[in-house]
Structure 1
Amino acid sequence: MWLIVKALISAAVIVAVAELSSRTPRLGALVLTLPIISILAFTMSWSKDHDMLAISRLARETLILVPFGLPFFVPLAISTKTGLSFWPSFGLGVVMAALTIGAWFRFGP
């Protein structure tokens, strides 16, 4: 039952951001940049296991990996200047983020 509740909460956040961003992109971006998913994940992890060591490790890894995921947004942000439509910009962003995250996993500590 708890798994279903977690999935519904996560889905609600995603739908809320999508709906809000179509009406007010700046407000949608604000909600998207809030660490809502991280807050939910930490809270759910704590309520399940009460393992502060695991949460601390997850927080450190997340803190390191967030900047490596940021290249995903670059092609979407400049798509009006490059003339790329949604799917090519999205695909290029996925590739760019995969490359930076992959490089971290391959060459990082």
Structure 2
Amino acid sequence: MLLRAIIAGLVVAAVSQIADRYPRLGALLLTLPIVSIVAFVAVWWKDQDLATVSKLSRETLVLVPLGLPLFIPLAISQRLGLGFWGAFALGLILASTTIGLWFAFGPKLEN
């Protein structure tokens, strides 16, 4: 678990440093599912249970698009006259709403 936390922290630090100088490259790095790859490998190594990896993958396929509204207010914040924290908060509200609605009303996967 400590190794996973270190890897995730390193990814965040690297992306933030790169994004300061090269926003497009920073965005590219954010789109790479580095943390997901590490998580899938860690789940596999723990129990070597493909059913668990498969369920995790299916849930991820649904939840990633539902989290994308986070970026909308940030992307158009200048047009909306919002500062960073306002746009960020609005994005969190939008993403939390879409994900929350999915958990409340979406189909339930078997455990």
TM more than 0.5: yes
Number of equivalent positions: 107
For 2:76, the equivalent position in structure 1 comes to 78
Superposition deviation, residue 79 in structure 1:
0.5
| TM norm structure 1 | 0.95
Moved over 2 A (4+): none
Partner Cα separation in structure 1 for residue 52 and residue 75 of structure 2: 35
Partner Cα separation in structure 1 for residue 63 and residue 98 of structure 2: 9
For 2:38, the equivalent position in structure 1 comes to 40
Structure 2's unaligned 5+ residue stretches are none
Superposition deviation, residue 85 in structure 1:
0.4
**1:90-101 mapped onto 2 (5 Å cutoff):** 90-101=88-99
Structure 1's unaligned 5+ residue stretches are none
* Percent of pairs with identical residues: 55
Superposition deviation, residue 104 in structure 1:
0.6
